């Protein structure tokens, strides 16, 4: 059952429209419209004794002595109201809130809540919240986000009625009671709603919030599980235990796997041998060796008689994977093919025919893989490299080409645990935290403009020894044209005035794919020694001979981006360097660069990044159709999130009842939930 807010007393069409501006349409919505703050009304100060300038809000009460409206300038209105209580007087001031005047009369009793200041020898409150009458002993009173024309009282009155209704109809509470025995449950859910709106104390309020956060996160996690299974129970391709092909593959490997790689493949193996299709994310820093893990998974699917696909975000990367796979599978009876935008029409035609007939075992490529006419005979595993570069739709388009294939995602942008839990509640995660042995740390230095010459001399010295360098240009604005101009200028300057003896190249986002790949190839071969690039440098290119990453304008890059760029070097035997040239910058910038100097592990950096940006800035991660969270804070509520996820999974194992879970989830998340399911 649900009620519209029109069912509440005092809300007609006009107020309904105002509430709609706050996205409040139903009584459930209203219950979840949590206060942004509270007034402590347990104590009303005598005006004459109230402390000024403490920066804390307090409550005063008295009789309105005068109401004065002034218009000192066009477009500026000033409302001054004098209130006194026998011990003293205070002036309440509002700017541009003429509508307030209608609520005020001389002689009325008024309670005001705000910060008290001394101004021009008077006590003054700027833009206080007010309420008619003496609101003594009310304890904590909620302050809600408002919109023009709605007063705190309007919302409070509506919320009180909503709580009364909820007392009679427990089923209008958002979410549902599958999770009510949580470790965070300290009171009945209804009471938690009462306490978050009208708390007895701030401790009670926090208890209530944590409880509601758990319920909210539980529902979100359950929603993610439903998303994964909403097409009914999925039957996966159950693979056999490892056989001869994998054994030979292992024997042919030119190196021993790291602990992280081994564990990741053990996870994958278990997934692929189970009934349920695999949905696994492998995250590991650039260079941690994810490709070989993907190759193992693909070898396993081939061994079981199915085909596999590997999709990479760029043509260069796909070609590089193809080369590496040809090496890894050399001498084994596995047919590998490459399909990108560069594949000629004739090659493509033959390739598609071979693919449909099962004469290709592993197809590697770009977005080209998801074109309509690409059809597999029996696709059993799809691997998406750098998965964050693809949209949900593209990833699932590839999966659609098989019948419930296993899916493996790889990313070099490690995501803190908090976020993987919330974003990928429906994915299992394996993390590769260590690098293959023998890797040297990339020595990282943050330097100022004054050292530019010396840096150039240093780079030139290394290039004289045959090493190669990247120069990344500042991202000037969100305008490619401006960036390009800056990059071109720097390139011309370096080529004609600084590194005149070295072959230089330029690569930028505006270049046609073919042109870009030609430059990258020349760099890979060593024909170009110094490569100037805009920040859109290709992800994942592997040039072991490149030892310097010089980032100009480093203050303009985020931690994740800097770390990604740094990962381009340090892939060979020689010592590599990352030089971050920054202009002045804020404390935050300096902190960021310092972390780059000190921290070399992408997971730790990602956590720092999150700290710097705060939960308000998570929007970039939030384009996955996730609902807006009301009680929970994704950053500080990690333990609650982890518990909620476990509980949701357990509930699902015990019940597996989509119908039972769906309705309450829809009531909580509304349209966003429908979005979750349709993704
Ligand atoms: P990424 O995780 O960035 O995709 P790659 O898979 O491209 O990393 O691996 C980077 C390099 O490390 C490759 O040249 C690969 O052959 C090598 N490599 C991978 N695993 C190991 C290992 N266990 N020991 C030594 N070298 C390895
Ligand atoms: Mg890679």
Nearest CA to ligand 1 atom 12: 289
The pLDDT assigned to 421 comes to: 62
Closest by CA to 408, choosing from 362, 439, 353, is: 362
Cα(598)–Cα(481) distance, rounded to whole angstroms?
34
The pLDDT assigned to 619 comes to: 38
Could you give the C-alpha distances from 141 to 94, 113, 131, in angstroms and in order?
21, 10, 11
Q: In the numeric block, which tokens belong to residue 257?
A: 């796997």
Closest by CA to 589, choosing from 448, 467, 382, 442, is: 448
- Mutational test site, ligand 1, from 291, 414, 603, max ligand atoms within 8 Å of CB: 291
Which ligand minimizes its atom distance to the CA of 414? 1
Q: What value does the CA radius of gyration of the chain take, rounded to a whole number of Å?
A: 31
pTM beyond cutoff 0.75: no
Closest by CA to 300, choosing from 237, 255, 393, is: 237
Cβ contacts of 452 within 8 Å, gap of 6 or more: 581
Cα(531)–Cα(503) distance, rounded to whole angstroms?
9
Ligand 2 centre and the CA of 368: distance in Å?
19
Cα(322)–Cα(315) distance, rounded to whole angstroms?
10
The pLDDT assigned to 573 comes to: 84
Residue 307 · residue 355 · CB < 8 Å = yes
The pLDDT assigned to 53 comes to: 85
Residue 159 · residue 167 · CB < 8 Å = no
Whose tokens are 């480093």? That residue is: 554
Cα(145)–Cα(77) distance, rounded to whole angstroms?
23
Residue 571 alpha carbon, nearest atom of ligand 1: 11
Which ligand minimizes its atom distance to the CA of 313? 2
Residues lining ion ligand 2 (Cβ < 5 A) are 540
Residue 614 · residue 191 · CB < 8 Å = no
Q: In the numeric block, which tokens belong to residue 471?
A: 């120069």
The pLDDT assigned to 578 comes to: 97
Residue 307 · residue 377 · CB < 8 Å = yes
Ligand 2 centre and the CA of 91: distance in Å?
65
Segment (H or E) for 162: helix 152-168
Mean pLDDT in consecutive groups of 10 residues from the start of the chain, 679 residues: 87 93 89 88 88 86 93 86 94 85 90 88 89 78 86 92 92 67 82 94 93 88 72 75 95 94 97 90 88 97 97 88 95 95 93 97 94 95 82 74 91 69 70 86 94 96 96 68 76 94 88 82 93 71 90 85 87 92 81 92 80 51 53 78 84 76 72 51
Whose tokens are 């908090």? That residue is: 418
Ligand 1 centre and the CA of 286: distance in Å?
9
The pLDDT assigned to 67 comes to: 93
Residue 320 alpha carbon, nearest atom of ligand 1: 7
Residues forming a β-bridge with 284: 432
Ligand 1 centre and the CA of 291: distance in Å?
7
Residue 209 · residue 630 · CB < 8 Å = no
Axis-axis angle for helices 13-21, 152-168 (nearest 10) = 100
Closest by CA to 381, choosing from 397, 403, 360, is: 403
Nearest CA to ligand 1 atom 4: 290
Q: Which three-class secondary structure state does DSSP give residue 140?
A: strand
Could you give the C-alpha distances from 326 to 254, 344, 353, 380, 657, in angstroms and in order?
13, 20, 21, 20, 46
- Mutational test site, ligand 1, from 318, 389, 436, max ligand atoms within 8 Å of CB: 436
Q: Which domains occur in the chain, in start order?
A: 5-36+154-199 (no CATH), 40-143 (2.40.50.140), 244-432 (3.40.50.300), 443-599 (3.40.50.300)
Residue 293 alpha carbon, nearest atom of ligand 1: 6
Cα(179)–Cα(386) distance, rounded to whole angstroms?
35
Cα(488)–Cα(83) distance, rounded to whole angstroms?
67
Nearest CA to ligand 1 atom 18: 289
Nearest CA to ligand 1 atom 27: 436
Ligand 1 pocket (Cβ < 6 Å) reads 255-258, 261, 284, 286-292, 412, 436, 542
Handedness of CA 26, 29, 35, 41 (dihedral sign): positive
């Amino acid at each position: 059952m649900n009620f519209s807010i029109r069912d509440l007393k005092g809300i007609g069409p006009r107020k309904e429209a105002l509430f709609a501006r706050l996205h409040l349409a139903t009584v459930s919505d209203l219950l979840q419209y949590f206060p942004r703050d509270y007034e402590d009304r347990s104590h009303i100060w005598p005006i004459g004794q109230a402390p000024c300038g403490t920066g804390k809000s307090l409550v005063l009460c008295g009789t309105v002595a005068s109401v004065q409206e002034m218009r000192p300038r066009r477009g500026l209105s000033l409302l001054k109201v004098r209130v006194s209580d026998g011990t003293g007087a205070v002036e309440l001031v509002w700017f541009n809130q003429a509508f307030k005047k209608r609520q005020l009369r001389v002689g009325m009793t008024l309670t005001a809540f705000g910060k008290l200041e001394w101004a021009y020898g008077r006590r003054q409150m700027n833009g206080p919240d007010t309420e008619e009458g003496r609101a003594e002993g009310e304890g904590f009173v909620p302050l809600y986000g408002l919109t023009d024309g709605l007063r705190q009282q309007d919302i409070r009155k509506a919320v009180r009625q909503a709580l009364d209704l909820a007392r009679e109809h427990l089923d209008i509470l958002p979410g549902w009671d599958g999770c009510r025995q949580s470790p965070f449950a300290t009171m009945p859910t209804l009471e938690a709603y009462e306490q978050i709106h009208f708390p007895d104390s701030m401790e009670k309020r926090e208890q209530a919030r944590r409880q509601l956060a758990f319920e909210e996160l539980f529902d979100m996690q359950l929603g993610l599980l439903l998303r994964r299974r909403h097409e009914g129970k999925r039957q996966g391709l159950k693979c056999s235990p490892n056989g001869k092909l994998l054994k030979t593959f292992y024997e042919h490997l030119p190196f021993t796997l790291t602990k992280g790689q081994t564990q990741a493949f053990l996870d994958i193996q278990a997934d692929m041998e189970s009934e349920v299709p695999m949905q696994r994310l492998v995250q590991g820093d650039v260079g941690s060796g994810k490709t070989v893990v993907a190759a193992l998974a693909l070898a396993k699917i081939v061994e079981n008689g199915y085909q596999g696909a590997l999709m990479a975000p760029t043509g260069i990367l796909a070609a590089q994977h193809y080369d590496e796979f040809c090496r890894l599978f050399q001498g084994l009876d596995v047919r590998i093919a490459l399909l990108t935008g560069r594949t000629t029409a004739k090659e493509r035609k033959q390739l598609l025919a071979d693919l449909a007939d099962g004469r290709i075992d592993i197809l590697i490529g770009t977005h080209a893989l998801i074109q309509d006419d690409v059809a597999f005979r029996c696709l059993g595993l799809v691997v998406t490299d750098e998965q964050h570069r693809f949209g949900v739709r593209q990833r699932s388009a590839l999966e659609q080409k098989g019948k419930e294939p296993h899916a493996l995602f790889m990313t070099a942008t490690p995501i803190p645990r908090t976020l993987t839990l919330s974003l990928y509640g429906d994915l299992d995660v394996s993390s590769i935290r260590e690098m293959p042995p023998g890797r040297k740390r990339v020595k990282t230095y943050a330097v100022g403009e004054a050292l530019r010459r010396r840096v150039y001399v240093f780079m030139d010295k290394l290039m004289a020894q045959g090493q190669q360098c990247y120069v990344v240009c500042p991202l000037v604005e969100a305008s490619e044209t401006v960036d390009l101009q800056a990059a071109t200028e720097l390139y011309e300057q370096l080529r004609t005035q600084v590194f005149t003896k070295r072959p230089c190249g330029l690569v930028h986002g505006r270049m046609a794919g073919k042109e870009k790949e030609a430059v990258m190839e020349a760099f890979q071969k060593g024909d170009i020694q110094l490569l100037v690039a805009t920040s859109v440098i290709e992800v994942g290119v592997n040039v072991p001979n490149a030892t310097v990453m010089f980032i100009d304008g480093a203050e303009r890059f985020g931690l994740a981006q800097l770390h990604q760029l740094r990962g381009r070097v340090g892939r060979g035997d020689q010592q590599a360097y990352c030089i971050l040239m920054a202009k002045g910058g804020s404390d935050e910038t300096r902190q960021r660069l310092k972390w780059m100097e000190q921290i070399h592990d992408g997971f730790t950096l990602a956590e720092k990044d999150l700290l710097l940006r705060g939960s308000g800035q998570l929007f970039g991660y939030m384009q996955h159709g996730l609902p807006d969270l009301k009680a929970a804070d994704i950053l500080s509520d990690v333990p609650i999130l982890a518990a909620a996820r476990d509980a949701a999974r357990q509930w699902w194992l015990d019940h597996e009842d989509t119908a039972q879970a769906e309705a309450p989830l829809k009531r909580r998340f509304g349209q966003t939930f429908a979005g979750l399911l349709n993704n």
